[in-house]
Amino acid sequence: MEFYCSQEELLAGISITQRGISSKTTIQVLSGIMLKVSNNHLYLKSTDLEITIEYKVPVKTVTEGEIILPAKILTDIVRKMPKEEIHFSMTEDKNVKIKSSTIEIDLTGESTEEFPKFPQLPEGKILGLSELKLKNMLKQTAFAISTEESRPVLTGVLFEIKGSTLNLIATDGHRLAYKVAVLEDEPKTPLKVIVPRKAITELQRILVDDEDNTIDIYVKDSIVFFVFENVIFSSRVIEGKFPPYQQIIPSDNNTKLKVNTKILQTSIERAELLSREGARSLVKFKISDILYLTSNTPDLGSLSEQLPVDKEGEDLEIAFNAKLITDCLKNIDVPEVYLEFNGSFNPCLIKPVIGDDYLHLVLPIRTA
């Protein structure tokens, strides 16, 4: 194996590929990045057996071949090389020489024989959408993924196609986030898969804020593929049945508030400072023509604050874990939101005043 490539293009590829490596792996080959040269491209590959990442870099090929190099040291070496063409060549004893105009480094490699086989990309994609759209959809749902492993189906985001819409849903049993995107064309193939939390986290780091960049989604044999211009990212899906989320979304509510998003967020964050009850931060809402927020912690202090709101319906008193409300508000990019209630013991529905593509549910806390 011998090739020449740009330091900047190689670093971009390695920086993404190394995200597929687990820091806790005890399997030697999984701590490395596989380099495969073929048809004037370098294919960088990594996996932790749950997710896989393949990145394609254009190179000038002298001879084809493949090798595994330790991911961390390779990343550090390439990052500290000058921004110029780099020459890679493999010796018979599986060492690799890395050269620039003034630097020469020898790095010990490893045979690819024990490296896992990657899942094959199926022929027909299910849908394509912009990276920016998917990034925003994940931003507004992923924070509601459960961190409790006792219910595996809640430890990911549900990707679901219904007609000409892509729905993303996440819930941890105490809240639910639901985001909808209208697709230009109605997909011919159904989609209903739960993508695990780690895959979602790494996807969010890879996605860019570009409406013109397209990402295609494929599914085959319990593997979901996200395909970018230079990247094939795949993940095992979570087996099991996602809860029937539509049954818990209320259709009628007795109390409705319209409130400034940022004002409400910062007010609840202030209330949270003086509310510490175990693992939760209890904040009480007293709703009339004004919204009263109160919180207190014995031996620490208390807070009371009034917020102007537009209210329809009944007066109400209700309490919440403050973090569950602020997590939602931080990810809503519109000036005003509706808060809708149906009594003190049913979920609060939060949605933007502008648009109907997002909603969030938060269960209240019983205080009596």
CATH 3.10.150.10 corresponds to the domain 249-362: yes
pLDDT for position 250: 87
Residue 142 has pLDDT above 70, yes or no: yes
Mean pLDDT of 340-358: 94
Residue 267 has pLDDT above 70, yes or no: yes
Q: Copy the structure tokens of residue 56.
A: 């394609």
Q: Which CATH number fits domain 2-108: 3.30.470.20, 3.10.150.10, 3.10.310.10, 3.40.640.10?
A: 3.10.150.10
CA dihedral 133, 9, 195, 152 (to 10 degrees): -130
Distances in Å between the Cα of 143 and the Cα atoms of 67, 261, 275 are 38, 18, 22
Mean pLDDT of 163-171: 96
> 214-229, pLDDT tens digit by residue?
999 999 999 999 999 8
Distances in Å between the Cα of 291 and the Cα atoms of 156, 307, 308, 327 are 34, 5, 6, 20
**pLDDT band, very low/low/confident/very high, at 179 (cuts 50, 70, 90):** very high
pLDDT for position 23: 81
Q: Which of 38, 218, 209 is nearest to 132 (CA)?
A: 209
Among 258-262, 308-312, 363-367, the least confident range: 363-367
Q: How far apart are CA 248 and CA 131, in angstroms?
A: 30
Alpha helices in 70-186 (DSSP H): 71-80, 131-139
Q: How far apart are CA 91 and CA 110, in angstroms?
A: 12
**pLDDT band, very low/low/confident/very high, at 368 (cuts 50, 70, 90):** low
Task: Tell me the residue length of the chain.
Answer: 368
CATH topology of 127-246 equal to that of 249-362? yes
pLDDT for position 40: 95
Share of the chain above pLDDT 70, in %: 99
Please give the backbone phi and psi of residue 18, each rounded to the nearest 5 degrees, phi first. Answer: -65, -10
Domain limits, the chain: 2-108, 127-246, 249-362
**pLDDT band, very low/low/confident/very high, at 277 (cuts 50, 70, 90):** low
Greater model confidence, 86 or 212: 86
Q: Which CATH superfamily is domain 127-246 in?
A: DNA Polymerase III, subunit A, domain 2 (3.10.150.10)
Mean pLDDT of 144-173: 96
Q: How far apart are CA 6 and CA 327, in angstroms?
A: 41
User: Mean of the per-residue pLDDT values for the chain?
Assistant: 94
